[in-house]
Chain A
Amino acid sequence: MTAGYALELLGITCTFAAPGGGPSYTAVADTTLRVAAGEFVSVVGPTGCGKSTLLNVGAGLLVPSAGEVCVFGEPLRGLNRRAGYMFQTEALLPWRSALDNVMLGLQYRGVPDAQARAQAQDWLARVGLAGFGDRYPHQLSGGMRKRTALAQTLALDPDIILMDEPFSALDIQTRQLMEDEVLELWAAKKKAVLFITHDLDEAIAMSDRVVVLSAGPATRPMGEFSIDLPRPRNVAEVRATPRFIELHTQIWGVLREEVLKGYQQQLKKVA
């Protein structure tokens, strides 16, 4: 079994009951998404289209209304123990130093403290924060906090990495640095990655495959594009290549309409 899928979302539908008994809201409708082992898949779509919902389903944090999640062929029950999740917003424990935050998952698994500390130190060094282990999150910059979160997620060596717009809050320079770092770490370990973003450039530059979602409600995948750019890639340089521009034009053609649709719907909601 070489073509095994690390993560399969099969016919997922998520319907949320409205508070106060109003009409329920279907965020995701009948969506099937597969991520092969070692594959880097990005999901792009207009804001508010249910990308995070899909990721939460994959993590086991959210039980879908219909459909099934399979992890390495096994149906998922409860939390996805083989996945690491990097959240969009701050998820570090503010009362723990960077090092203690990275140790957290290892401690939960019962790794002896000395060993966990050594491993965490190692991971901090790998994300370029070797000298910052004793800082508390509020003493780190936004980029450093993201690196800490990355180390925290990767320290457990998960087989599947879920990332929810992890760099959307960063400035463009820090962002490109982080993207390159993630690609380097990914290339070394070849884990399955499901990467959510609203930034098409980021999606193309990093992934093997880009999935475009339609505007919500009842989001479905609209198209799938294989990204055949050679690796290793430098996210800043790859953007200037003709193939990148070609792919970008192609995918944007599909995405554009959905973005406009999503925008119109948001306007309607406000009105």
Chain B
Amino acid sequence: MTLWQRFKPRTGNLRLWQVGVLLVFLGLWQLASRDVQLAFFLGEPVKVAGRVWSWFLPWAVAPNVLFPDGLSGNADIYRHLGTTLLETFLAFGIGTVLGLACGLWLALSPLASAILDPYIKAANAMPRVILAPIFAMWFGLGIWSKVALAVTLVFFIVFFNVYQGVREVSPVVLSNARMLGANQRQLLRTVYLPSATAWVFSSLHTSVGLAFVGAVVGEYLGSARGVGYLILQAEGTFDVNTVFAGIVVLTAFALLLDGLVGRIERRLMKWQPRQGETEKL
């Protein structure tokens, strides 16, 4: 009774419980994988961890209880990871710039927007992953076919947010800026663009995530390097542990990117009110 009261979940030991859930999950998984047939499909957490070690660290491990064959310290994932991240950043950058430009243009030109409206809706509704083979034909198996695929994912997120952002500029703010003497270019720079960027930032988590997804899916469908390529190779040889290791690495980096975006967002969006914000005097 007293023991339960000590370890009862509460805000203080939340972290402990979170780690506990993970350990229980890994333990059950490891237990299940003692069955050789199940292990073929499910993989083994220890082997997954060993795979991640070999990928990232240059130190070999001698054979021991956990790893009867020992571990080689290859440190050979960086080339692949670098490729995937490069594709992600390129796609995110290009997609954002294109989305921003097109969004601003269409939002400020009602005629163009009215004409192109059905096509934009159609392009957005299209399952764009299907474009991957076409991009592979156009841009080859290098990074650019992956960048192109990810750009199509990022573009629409940014585009719709910018479009919305410009449309939602308060008419009073706009009239005020005009009465203060803003010409069309100054309006764009001081009113439309900041308003649109605010919306872009609010969608940054989604768009960075999608850039990453686009890059990995592109690699998975045909490439010569990248984390998606590693996963594809492992699947080809039924090496389920490596597939899981790839998934773990991708998840970790997706979380890392998300955290990075959160930091940038907080720094650039400090003008936006947050709930219950008080200021130190």
| Closest beta carbon of chain A to B33's beta carbon, Å | 53
- With A108-B186, A138-B272 given, is the CB distance from A156 to B181 under 8 Å? yes
Are A95 and B198 CB-contacts (below 8 A) given A104-B177, A156-B180?
A: yes
Residue contact A96 to B271, C-beta cutoff 8 Å? yes
| CB–CB A95/B176 < 8 A | no
A79 touches B178 (CB 8 A): yes
- Closest A residue to B278 by beta carbon equals A139
- B interface majority secondary structure: helix
Which residues of chain B in 127-180 are interfacial with respect to chain A, using CB atoms and an 8 Å cutoff?
170, 172-173, 175-180
Q: Which residues A86-101 have CB closer than 8 A to chain B?
A: 87, 89-97
- Which of B175, B182, B270 interacts with A87 by CB under 8 Å? B175
> Does chain B have a CB within 8 A of A126?
no
Number of contacting residues on B, CB 8 A? 23
On whether the beta carbons of A108 and B182 are closer than 8 Å, the reply is yes
Q: Which residues of A contact B179 (CB under 8 A)?
A: 59, 61, 79-80, 83-85
- CB neighbours of A91 from chain B (8 A): 170, 172-173, 175-176
A81 to B180, CA, bound (A): 8
Cα distance A156–B271 when bound, in Å?
25
Instruction: For the complex, give the distance between the alpha carbons of A87 and B179 in Å.
Output: 10
CA A183 to CA B180, docked complex, whole Å: 22
CB-contact partner of B271 in A81, A136, A152, under 8 A: A136
Write the nearest CB–CB distance from A90 to chain B, whole angstroms. 7
Contacts of A108 in B (CB 8 A): 177, 180-183, 186
Q: Which residue of B172, B177, B181 contacts A90 across the interface (Cβ within 8 Å)?
A: B172
Question: In the complex, A81 Cα to B183 Cα: how many Å?
Answer: 12
**Given the complex, which residues of A lie within 8 Å of B198, measured CB to CB?**
95
A180 to B173, CA, bound (A): 26
Residue pairs across A and B with Cβ atoms less than 8 A apart, 20 shown, are A61-B175, A84-B179, A85-B179, A87-B176, A89-B170, A90-B172, A91-B173, A91-B175, A91-B176, A95-B198, A104-B190, A105-B181, A107-B186, A108-B180, A108-B182, A109-B181, A136-B271, A138-B273, A139-B273, A156-B180
Task: Report A's interface with B, CB cutoff 8 A.
Answer: 59, 61, 79-81, 83-85, 87, 89-97, 104-105, 107-109, 136-139, 152-153, 156
